[in-house]
Amino acid sequence: MRRHTPIGLKILTAGVMLFGLTAQQAMSHECIPASNSAADIFVYNSCKSDLLTGVSGHGKADGEAQNKAEDEAKIDALEQENIYLKAQLKELKARLLQIIGQY
């Protein structure tokens, strides 16, 4: 007699495979499922989720310095943009006061 796999398990397995493919580039640690059991798939999904959210503690040594430099560059760019936007806002306020003064 042939045993049928529940549709929920098939959907869960497909989701795990799709999730694994989309998240694969961000991983420095591999989560490997021990088997196709529901419990092992749950552990596998939790591992992948932890890696995506950054709470796993894996891979900090390699990319940390590069990430810090990138973050500092982004902060510098945002600070420069903030200065520019404040100057624009000041100019717009002056124009608005000039227009209001005409009426």
| Alpha helices (runs of H) in the chain, residue ranges in sequence order | 7-23, 38-53, 60-102
Give the Å distances, CA to CA, from 89 to 22, 30, 84, 86, 103. 41, 48, 9, 5, 22
Q: What is the pLDDT of residues 51-103, one digit of tens each?
A: 777 666 655 544 566 778 888 999 999 999 999 999 999 999 999 999 999 88
* pLDDT value of position 23: 47
Two tokens, residue 44: 């596998």
Asked which of 1-15, 39-53, 77-91 is least confident by mean pLDDT, the reply is 1-15
Helices 7-23, 38-53: inter-axial angle, 10-degree rounding? 30
